[in-house]
Each structure stands twice: as C-alpha cells, then as structure tokens.
Amino acid sequence: MKALQCIELGGPEKLKVNEIEDPVIAPEHVIIDLKAASINFPDVLMIQGLYQFQPPLPFTPGGESAGVITEVGEGVEGYKVGDKVLSASMIGGIAEKLLAHHSTLRPIPEDMDYEIAAALSVTYGTSLYALKQRANLQPGETLLVLGASGGVGLATVQLGKAMGANVIAAASTQEKVDICLSNGADKAFVYPSGDLSREEQKELSNKIKELTGGRGPNVIYDPVGGSYAEPCLRSIAWEGRYLVIGFAAGADQIPKMPLNLTLLKGCQIVGVFWGAWVGMFPDENKKNFEELFKLYSEGKIDPTPSDRFSLESSSDAIAHLMNRKAKGKVIVSID
Ligand SMILES: NC(=O)c1ccc[n+]([C@@H]2O[C@H](COP(=O)([O-])OP(=O)(O)OC[C@H]3O[C@@H](n4cnc5c(N)ncnc54)[C@H](OP(=O)(O)O)[C@@H]3O)[C@@H](O)[C@H]2O)c1
C-alpha cells in the first residue's frame, strides 16, 4: 500500500510517500480501507519530534481518518466488515490502509461522508470537551476564540454558537476573520502576527474590553499561547475561565502567567488535554460524540474541509497547516 512516511525527524519536506507492506490483522484491531484523513497541529509537532507522544521511526503520520472496515481481529465486538468508521488513531491515517485498535473507532452516521467524518474527531472532540466539561460554558456568556479560523478554532466558533454563547473570533488576517464571521461568530477582529510588543499587547487587551462593553469574555479559548496569552487573561471577566488548549505560536514561547491576575479576576486557568480524558473516561467521550453527531445532523456544526490534498501531495497538507495557511480543516483524500 501507499503511505506517507516520516523516516527522519524534521519539516514536511523530509516526508516521503512510499510503497510499504500492507498491515496484518491483530487481536483487538480492525483493518480499514481509508478514504480520507485530516491534518491536525500534533502531526506538525510529531514529525519534528516535538509532541508529547513520539512514535518510533519510521512512522506514518495522520491522527484521524475514516474509511471502511475490511478485516476484523479476534476480540473485537460491535464492528464487522463493511462498516463505515472513523478512527482517532494518533498516527497511521495518511495511508491507503490502517490497522486501528477498536477503542479508537466510532461508526459514521448514515448522513455523513468520509471527509466530514475524518475532520470531526480531534477538533470538535477537543472543543466540545473544553467548552462543556472544562469551562461549563453557559448560554448568554461571551466566548473569545484565538486562532479562530484554525482547526480547533473554527470548531469552537461553531460549538460556542450552538451552545448559545456570544462568540468573538480573533485571527491574524482579514480573510481569516471573514471565515469566522461566515461560520457564525458574532464579532471578529484581526490581531497582529508574531511576538507582540508591550504596546500591541496593551492594544489587544483594550480591544477585547471594548468589544465586550468593558466586562471581558467569560471564557477564553487559547490554542495559540505565545505573547497573546497574558493580554487576553488581563481582559477576562470576573469568574472567567481561561482554556489552555495548545501552543501553536511555538513550544519555546509557552506563556508564564502572573498569578495575581487569577486573584484579581476571581478567574480560573483551566488545562485541556482531550486525548488523556478520552483514555480515562471513554463513556463520557462516547456521549460527547453522540452530541456532536446530533449537532451535525441538525446543521449546527459543519466541519466542511477548506483545503484538500491527495495522498501523493500529503506532505504539502502538513506544510500548509504548519505555515499558518489553514482555514478550517485540511483534508487528504485517499481514493
Ligand atoms: N489540548 C488538546 O487536547 C488539544 C487537542 C487538539 C489540538 N490541540 C492544540 O491546539 C493547537 C491548534 O491546533 P489546530 O490543529 O487547530 O492547528 P491550526 O489549524 O494550525 O490552528 C492553529 C492556529 O494558531 C494560529 N497561530 C499563531 N501562531 C502560529 C504559528 N506560529 N504557527 C501556526 N499557527 C499559528 C493560527 O491562526 P492565526 O494565523 O489566525 O493566528 C492558526 O490558525 C495546537 O497547539 C494543538 O497541539 C490541543
């Protein structure tokens, strides 16, 4: 079969599409004939050796994918050959076939196509867990989303609206801001790119206060980190919840917050690690997925891919995300 391979750690230019052995069925696993995969920031980190989970070399990137089961291993219950499934497998998804543990699978609803299914797990799974279980977002509250046109960002804009929040989206270009507005954001603004100066940080804080009538957002969703974090926390509402999602601005720029801000605002800084929670509470995660599928069939969320690549050009798909060009979900079509 054909698969994208990371043979040595480094940038996307080091990845190669190679012909490799087909996977062999194993107990508790299924083999999936893949139709689509989607790219997430952890793929960018993993190929460079910068992610918290690091597979041995060589490996095939691709943390979420969808297709049809062609073989079922011993000890797998509830799945059969021919079932349409999505898999949140961490690796292996950018290939023609995937050996996936049954715990990573979920049946795809009848009304959902493979690309949508491949785009749903990581971003919407993370964002629903963040807004519901971690922030306890309430209807009528104000939600500020940073990096709002990216994968988890756009999912959060849509989920925030579906949960009845007033959503303010922030992104680095007018084009990205327009995408957030067309995905339901109530307000949106452009923030400067890169490492913000003291003056730019103050302006960011003031802009957020201005857009919230001086009260500040109740919940801030931050997948970016860097120098955006502190001015955003400075703008948060009384008893606000600041969701720490990720550090797209760079692992060398993980923000360090003055703790007096939590005292002054009566606010919480809340860590979000969806993958760990899924491992510890699979039944809760299953309920969240049922909710996501319902929201999708009601038309309240729409993980429509914005950029598509073939398996042959899948290293470009990872580069696209890495170079801050993604607007929504980046998909690899594998047909
Ligand atoms: N905690 C969890 O459980 C969990 C789960 C999934 C993902 N994550 C994390 O969430 C973050 C976002 O993931 P994603 O898949 O949504 O990525 P993505 O689609 O690339 O979105 C990230 C956004 O961050 C912004 N950004 C700011 N500085 C950047 C830089 N130097 N390079 C790239 N992007 C930059 C970009 O928006 P602007 O250009 O508008 O600033 C971009 O749209 C990652 O750190 C990822 O590891 C965490």
Centroid of ligand 1 to alpha carbon of 250 (angstroms): 10
Residue 85 belongs to domain with CATH number: 3.90.180.10
Of 237, 257, 275, the residue that ends a domain is 275
Residue 176 belongs to domain with CATH number: 3.40.50.720
CB 213 within 8 A of CB 187: no
In this structure, the answer to whether residues 114 and 147 fall within a common structural domain is: no
Task: Say what percent of the chain tops pLDDT 90.
Answer: 94
Tokens of 298: 């009601």
Distance between terminal CA atoms of the chain? 12
Whether 96 has a pLDDT exceeding 80, the answer reads: yes
288 inside domain: no
The mean pLDDT of 240-256, rounded to a whole number, is 94
In this structure, the answer to whether residues 151 and 263 fall within a common structural domain is: yes
Quote the pLDDT of residue 88.
94
In this structure, the answer to whether residues 77 and 148 fall within a common structural domain is: no
pLDDT in tens, 32-53: 999 999 999 999 999 999 998 8
The mean pLDDT of 145-171, rounded to a whole number, is 97
Domain count, the chain: 2
Mutate to test the pocket of ligand 1, among 245, 270, 320, 325 (most ligand atoms within 8 A of CB): 245
Whether 104 has a pLDDT exceeding 90, the answer reads: yes
Quote the pLDDT of residue 252.
87
pLDDT in tens, 137-157: 999 999 999 999 999 999 999
- According to DSSP, the residues that pair with 142 across neighbouring strands are 166
Angle at 284 between CA 282 and CA 287, to 5 degrees: 110
In this structure, the answer to whether residues 184 and 247 fall within a common structural domain is: yes
The helix, strand and coil proportions of the chain, stated in percent and rounded to the nearest 5, come to 35, 25, 40
Name the residue with the closest Cα to ligand 1, atom 33.
324
Backbone angles phi, psi at 96, to 5 degrees: -75, -30
283 inside domain: no
64 inside domain: yes
Quote the pLDDT of residue 307.
92
Whether 304 has a pLDDT exceeding 80, the answer reads: no
Quote the pLDDT of residue 194.
87
Q: Which domain holds residue 106?
A: 2-120+303-333
282 inside domain: no
Q: How far apart are CA 302 and CA 290, in angstroms?
A: 15
Name the amino acid, one letter, at 332. Answer: V
